[in-house]
């Protein structure tokens, strides 16, 4: 039984030694292949090619990042310009509204001046009619006084000898008073007419000023409309350029994303390959260690068996 056990152990030892030798040879072959691949020009070319591709991708990544930064700066600048254009449009709109208000006020003042002018014309016509009526009344009163004076003179000539209680001086005083009253009335009417003419001239000047202000407001409104049209065209152009830059930036971002995904896939595949190689090496190391332990165990068993067999002989 002991000899059978020893024979079995020897067979197992031989099998394990053969396996260890085969694994060591295979390890040497793999090591030689690794060294040959490292030292071979094909491996160097592959490594150089991979490093060049990686460098090119990194450069493309940096270039895309720089372009993204420049596009963001251009976008911010365009946004600021759009905001400035909007603020200018708002200012122009406010100025336009103010010009419209001033134009409406000027129109109201013009209507009021026209109404005042019409009223002054009507008042002047009315005063002229009153003056004519007063002149007619004065002429009638003067004719009546002349007739009375003539009748008084006839009566005085017929009754020269008779005592006269009425004196002609009173008639003259009465005519002088009437003439003074008439002169005063004429002067007052003249002053009123002159005042009305002055107010009419002032109303005409105000009307001309209102017309000139209206014309200036219309010219200013036309200039503002032209500026507003130019600003609208510039705003549309800026919006179009901003949309175009957004599209270009989006296309570059998509390209950059695709390149990043390709790099990530390649990196993942490289990680998988490296993990496989490390796992294979680790398995080989574990197998080598287990075989070394078994060999050491069998050696100790063989040494113990040989010492046990040599002890009786000694």
Residue 159 has which token pair? 């009754």
Residue 84 has which token pair? 């400035």
Question: What proportion of the chain, given as a percentage, has pLDDT over 90?
Answer: 0
pLDDT, tens digit, 9 for 90 and up, residues 176-235: 777 777 777 777 777 877 777 777 787 778 778 877 877 887 888 888 888 888 888 888
Reported pTM: 0.34
For residues 206 and 213, give the distance between their C-alpha atoms in angstroms, rounded to a whole number: 10
Give the contacts of 138 (CB within 8 A, at least 6 positions apart).
182
- Check if the beta carbon of residue 99 is closer than 8 Å to that of residue 238: no
pLDDT, tens digit, 9 for 90 and up, residues 254-313: 887 888 888 888 888 888 888 888 888 888 888 888 888 888 888 888 888 778 777 655
């Amino acid at each position: 039984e002991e000899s059978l056990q020893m024979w079995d152990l020897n067979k197992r030892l031989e099998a394990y030694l053969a396996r260890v030798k085969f694994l060591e040879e295979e390890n040497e072959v793999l090591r030689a292949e690794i060294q040959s691949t490292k030292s071979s020009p094909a491996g160097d070319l592959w490594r150089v090619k991979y490093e060049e591709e990686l460098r090119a991708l990194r450069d493309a990544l940096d270039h895309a990042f720089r372009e993204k930064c420049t596009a963001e700066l251009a976008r911010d600048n365009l946004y600021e310009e759009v905001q400035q254009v909007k603020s200018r449009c708002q200012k122009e709109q406010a100025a336009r509204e103010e010009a419209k208000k001033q134009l409406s006020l000027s129109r109201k003042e013009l209507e009021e001046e026209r109404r005042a002018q019409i009223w002054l014309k009507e008042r002047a016509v009315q005063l002229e009619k009153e003056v004519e009526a007063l002149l007619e009344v004065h002429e009638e009163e003067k004719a009546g006084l002349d007739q009375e004076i003539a009748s008084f003179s006839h009566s005085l000539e017929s009754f020269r000898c008779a005592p006269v209680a009425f004196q002609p001086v009173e008639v003259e005083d009465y005519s002088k008073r009437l003439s003074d009253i008439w002169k005063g009335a004429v002067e007052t009417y003249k002053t009123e007419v002159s005042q009305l003419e002055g107010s009419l001239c002032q109303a005409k000047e105000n009307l001309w000023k209102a017309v000139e202000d209206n014309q200036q407001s219309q010219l200013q409104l036309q200039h503002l409309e032209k500026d507003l049209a130019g600003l609208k065209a510039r705003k549309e152009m800026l919006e179009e350029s901003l949309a175009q830059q957004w599209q270009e930036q989006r296309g570059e971002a998509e390209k950059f994303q695709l390149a990043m995904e390709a790099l990530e896939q390649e990196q993942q595949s490289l990680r998988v390959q490296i993990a496989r190689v490390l796992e294979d090496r680790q398995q080989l190391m574990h197998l080598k260690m287990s075989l070394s332990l078994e060999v050491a165990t069998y050696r100790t068993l063989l040494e113990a068996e040989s010492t046990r067999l040599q002890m009786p002989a000694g």
